[in-house]
Amino acid sequence: MRSTRLLLALVAAGCATAPAATVPAQAPVPVAMPTPAPNLVAGATSRPNADPFPSTYAPFASRTTVIRNVNIYTGAGPLIRNGAILLQDGKVAAVGATVNAPANAVLIDGQGKYVTPGLIDTHSHLGVYPAPGTAAHSDGNEATAPVTAHVWAEHSVWPQDPQFPRDLAGGTTTIQVLPGSANLIGGRSVTLKVVPSRSAQGMKFPGAPYGLKMACGENPKRVYASRGPSTRMANVAGYRAAWIGADAYRRKWDAWLAKPEGDAPARDLNNETLAEVLRGNILVHNHCYQADEMMQMIDIAKEFGYQIRSFHHGVESYKIADVLAREGISASIWSDWGGFKMEALDGIKANVGLTHVAGARTIVHSDDASYSQRLNQEAAKSLAAARVAGLNISDEDAIRWITINPAWALGIDRMTGSLEVGKNADLVLWSGNPLSVYARTEKVWIDGAMLFDRSDTSQRWRTDFELGYVPNEGGRR
């Protein structure tokens, strides 16, 4: 949605054949990188408060299901042609050339069709910038101070945003909802399953760690031009000042927790979140367009001893992809957006491909309610552009840009993002190869429950808002 990005921006914030002589023949496989504790309960290690807004999500009712005779992009290995997958008790129970179908299983014939893991978007503002776009629901940017680590995106999430069911219908099953980019430190993100619920808590992905939104560059310095930061150097001073305060807070609390004598130190919501980053429990998601700024953010992270999990919108990732690979930082980037401001000027369509072949963990993200519905098309565009540039990338790798790689960035790769035995049965059945423009989602499962079925409009998820406002396919409101 053009207006959203514009809003974010305002509020806050083929190419003919290129020479291929110097291109590595085969993309290096991303090196193993540290993954945070897998079964972390969100916020559980926060001191002193464990998990004040716990997930109340429970999987929807599911049926044992077998999809047979179908092409499967597992996200973990090569495409399985004419294979089968068994979904049982909300998990992937078997996947391969054939599976044993239990007697009670629903059988789906996937002749000519494709299965992928449920798609995952590391950068969403669904719920915090819902549709219709109204001032009353513009809840994504707390643009009142440059450091607002005390705010949590989940407290702005409106579960009745009609963009959620559309996202699901596009095959996107998990999203990270972030605060906007007006601030140097914008607040906590939340990872949601794209499911109907009365509350944000009912959508929260159980066990997903929190994220922290940080932003470089133009947006903060424009938003705070009159009070500061108004320059990039003041941006950096602002991050460092925040981390200095957070480190002192963490040490004070950790000392008291080790020896809880006397009154506990005073709580400070801002530093509580930042301290959790320093303890390694909250993952840093850093909006940062330019290569030179990303390099500086890496040094800041080293100075204060935290790890950047993913740079978002890095339109210049391709310039430092080797560094991102070395530092174990993933790149959450667009397929083909750029040019709309100075720091976006060097956006190129080969960004995803070049970043991938340098060995960095590469993710195609959206930052947009429309793109988020077509992450497969975004990946396909990136793949095509990479090949035009002479890069050798497989279809399977392109699928990883929108499945297991974003799962890793969100710290949920042990639970979802690939179709392997024991993982959550989050998957999509496509009418054809999802890298084709003509492919459409047919069915989408989350934890084994079929939550979208294109052939059954009677079961279509319609948000409260849509009732009486948004006409259904027959034109009735």
Partner 1 sequence: MRNSMLLRLTALATLSLAPVASAQVIAITGGTVYPVSGPKIENGTVLIRDGRIVAVGADVAVPADARRIDARGKWVTPGFINSATSLGLSEAGGPQFSGGYDDTGARATDGISAAFESWKGLNPVNTFIIPARQEGVTSVVVAPGGGMVGGKAAVIDLIDATSAAEMVRRASTAMVGDFGSPGNGSTNSRAEYWAKWRTLLDDVKAYQTRRPAYEAGNSRTLAASRADLEALIPVVSGQMPLALSVDRASDILAALTFAKENSLRLWIMGGAEAWMVAREIAAAKVPVFTGAMNNIPTDFNSLGQRQENAAMLRAAGVTVVLVGNGPGDGASFNVRNIRQEAGNAVAYGLSWDDALRSITLTPAEVLGVAAQIGAIATGLDANVVVWSGDPFEFSSVAEQVFVRGRTFDTKSRQQQLTERYLTLPPAYRRP
Q: Binding to partner 1 by residue 9, rule CB under 8 A?
A: yes
Residue 388 CB-density burial (10 A; 0-12 exposed, 13-18 middle, 19+ buried): middle
Give the binding-site size for partner 1 (rule: CB under 8 A).
72
CB of 342 to partner 1, least distance (A): 5
Structure tokens at 218: 């133009």
Instruction: Restricting to residues 144-203, name those near partner 1 by CB under 8 A.
Output: 162-163, 166
Pairing of strands 65-72, 106-109: parallel
Near partner 1 by CB under 8 A: residue from 43, 146, 338, 448? 338
CB of 41 to partner 1, least distance (A): 34
Q: Binding to partner 1 by residue 10, rule CB under 8 A?
A: yes
**Of 225 and 248, CB closest to partner 1:** 225
Structure tokens at 28: 């290096």
Residue 324: φ, ψ to 5°: -60, -40
Near partner 1 by CB under 8 A: residue from 121, 293, 368, 413? 368
DSSP state of 422: T
User: b/e string for 97-109 if b means 16 or more Cβ within 10 A?
Assistant: eebebeeebeebe
**Of 153 and 380, CB closest to partner 1:** 380
Interacting stretch for partner 1, rule CB under 8 A, among 34-42, 101-109, 204-212, 344-352? 344-352
Near partner 1 by CB under 8 A: residue from 374, 400, 414, 423? 374
CB of 176 to partner 1, least distance (A): 18
DSSP state of 302: H
In Å, what is the CA distance from 161 to each residue of 137, 164, 188? Answer: 10, 6, 20
Q: Binding to partner 1 by residue 383, rule CB under 8 A?
A: yes
Task: Give the x/- contact pattern for partner 1 in 197-236, rule: CB under 8 A.
Answer: ---------------------x---x--------------
DSSP 396-414: HHHHHTTTHHHHHHTT-TT
CB of 368 to partner 1, least distance (A): 5
Near partner 1 by CB under 8 A: residue from 86, 192, 380, 419? 380
Separation CA 156–CA 169 (nearest Å): 23
Separation CA 315–CA 328 (nearest Å): 18
Separation CA 401–CA 17 (nearest Å): 24
Near partner 1 by CB under 8 A: residue from 37, 79, 145, 388? 388
Helix H segments across 72-136?
none
Near partner 1 by CB under 8 A: residue from 50, 106, 248, 345? 345
Instruction: Restricting to residues 81-140, name those near partner 1 by CB under 8 A.
Output: 131-134
Near partner 1 by CB under 8 A: residue from 37, 76, 300, 384? 384
Instruction: Restricting to residues 422-451, name those near partner 1 by CB under 8 A.
Output: 435-440
379: Cβ contacts below 8 Å, ≥ 6 apart: 335, 352, 364, 398, 399, 401, 402, 435
Q: Binding to partner 1 by residue 341, rule CB under 8 A?
A: yes
